[in-house]
DNA sequence: GTCTATATTTGGATAGAC
DNA sequence: GTCTATCCAAATATAGAC
């Protein structure tokens, strides 16, 4: 499972290496380091990650980590990229084959669940809380793809309002925020996701939002 | 202006002192320190506040600050309390005399403007980003009062849905978040505040939300 | 490839002189 | 009430041995 993660991407921007065991081993170690980093930030908070602790967790000293990542920010960046790819994968897996409107609702649910199930991850991916850090273009790419999924679903649902997308992200982001800030691990805002989506549909595409009504045209 | 801030509150929980110039002077210095702290966090970020910088800003050495605040967290706490009191004051000043529905809309606008106009302050007041810090009950009190204002306005508007308040805070919080995270200083989500409030009214109290309609009962 | 040792910086906080 | 001096701790990062 480890070696499936980054095969072929192990180059840090250089030319792709041949298929050598050396590179595979190295990639596996990097993945192990990132996994340990996730465990630590879940345990002690995102900002509390230290190279000492991280090294200890993977059975090496802090300086040895520099063989795998050139800086602490590079570790955050790898975590960011992995997290965003996971979010994208979760959305893609969930909306496959659904009609446009159901796909939108599902995206809201999936992103909400994804974000609230791991506060530290949500903090890294969706807030700007680490002083000098901003994701590299490569790590940010899946975030852009995520936006595209939303835009695509909106269009497929016949929603052409240019503000619909901003409105939609604000709604989901607000539910996530309140849940994390005021009721972490609870259900207080989770219960309101579907209702909020209904509200969104009613506002942005009122014609098709009331299934009981008989005024299709 | 400085000495109007905290007169009578200078006791750190002890019995109230007589009206002495000593206490007034001390309170003024504390206020000056807090003002300088705000300037620093606006400049370098909330987490980048250091006692060295702060001391330099007010013309004293870092250790001297301990004559006024027992710890760095106590400084954050004073900032938190001041910020929340300001938010409450801004809301109270804005909704005075308004009808319930207009008061709700105004609260959303005012809080949005208050939060987005100072990102560092918003981070302190509305996110949990500083590792060990959480506000003292005294500093948190105005935040509770702010919630009461919202609840009062909702009831006055005839909105008895128990989820309305959570929904409302999520909406405003989402708009604020997206504005701060993706378009700081811009208007992209600011433009959507009124529309979002309309959407909220339509969802939570549909009867009175469409002024054109003629079905008051 | 991992280690020890260390450089460097930075920060919060305390002790005691003045 | 402010200062100097210092402590203590922690963190990132580098150099060079093995």
The count of C-alpha atoms lying within 13 angstroms of the C-alpha of A68, restricted to the half-sphere facing its C-beta, is 27
Give per-residue pLDDT as tens, B61-81. 999 999 999 999 999 999 999
Token couple for B17:
């002192």
pLDDT value at residue B76: 98
Task: Provide the 3-class DSSP secondary structure of residue A183.
Answer: coil
8 Å CB contact of B178 and A166: yes
**Over pLDDT 90: what percentage of chain B?**
80
Identify from B111, B169, B170, B183 which residue to disrupt to test chain A contact, counting A C-beta atoms within 10 A and taking the largest count.
Answer: B170
pLDDT value at residue A215: 47
- CB-based contact (8 Å) between A127 and chain B? yes
pLDDT value at residue B176: 98
The pTM score is 0.88
Max CA pair span of chain B: 69
Token couple for A64:
């040895």
The count of C-alpha atoms lying within 13 angstroms of the C-alpha of B41, restricted to the half-sphere facing its C-beta, is 22
pLDDT value at residue B17: 53
Name every chain A residue with its beta carbon within 8 A of the beta carbon of B181: 126-128
pLDDT value at residue B10: 52
Q: Identify the H or E element spanning A8.
A: none
Identify from A170, A171, A198 which residue to disrupt to test chain B contact, counting B C-beta atoms within 10 A and taking the largest count.
Answer: A170
B125 has pLDDT over 80: yes
B7 has pLDDT over 60: no
> Which portions of chain A are predicted below pLDDT 50?
1-9, 11-15, 209-217
State the Cα–Cα distance between residues A6 and A10, nearest whole angstrom: 6
Give per-residue pLDDT as tens, B127-154. 888 888 999 999 999 999 999 999 999 9
- Among left, alpha and beta (phi > 0; psi -120 to 50; other), residue B74 is alpha
CA distances in angstroms from B211 to A159, A198, B198, B202, listed in the order given: 25, 21, 11, 11
Q: Please tell me which of the candidates A169, A175, A181 has its beta carbon nearest to residue B178.
A: A169
Query: DSSP code of B190?
Result: G
Sign for the CA dihedral angle at A144, A124, B126, B26 comes to negative
- CB-based contact (8 Å) between B194 and chain A? no
Give per-residue pLDDT as tens, B25-68. 999 999 999 999 999 999 999 999 999 999 999 999 999 999 99
State the Cα–Cα distance between residues B33 and B21, nearest whole angstrom: 18
State the Cα–Cα distance between residues A99 and A94, nearest whole angstrom: 12
């Amino acid at each position: 499972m480890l070696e499936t993660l980054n095969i072929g991407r192990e180059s840090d921007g250089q030319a792709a290496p041949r298929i050598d065991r050396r590179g595979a081993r190295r990639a596996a170690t990097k993945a192990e380091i990132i996994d340990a980093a996730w465990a630590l930030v879940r345990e002690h908070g995102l900002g509390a990650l230290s190279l000492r602790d991280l090294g200890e967790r993977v059975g090496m000293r802090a300086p040895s980590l520099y063989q795998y990542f050139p800086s602490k920010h590079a570790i955050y960046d790898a975590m960011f990229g992995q997290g965003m790819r996971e979010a994208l994968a979760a959305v893609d897996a969930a909306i496959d084959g659904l009609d446009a409107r159901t796909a939108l609702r599902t995206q809201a649910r999936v992103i909400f669940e994804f974000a609230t199930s791991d506060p530290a991850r949500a903090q890294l991916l969706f807030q700007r809380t680490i002083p000098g850090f901003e994701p590299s273009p490569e790590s940010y790419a899946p975030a852009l793809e995520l936006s595209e999924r939303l835009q695509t679903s909106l269009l497929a649902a016949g929603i052409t309002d240019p503000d619909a997308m901003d409105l939609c992200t604000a709604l989901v982001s607000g539910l996530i925020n309140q849940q994390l800030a005021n009721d972490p691990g609870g259900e207080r805002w989770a219960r309101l996701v579907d209702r909020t989506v209904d509200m969104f549909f009613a506002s942005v595409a009122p014609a098709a939002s009331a299934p009981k009504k008989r005024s299709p045209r």
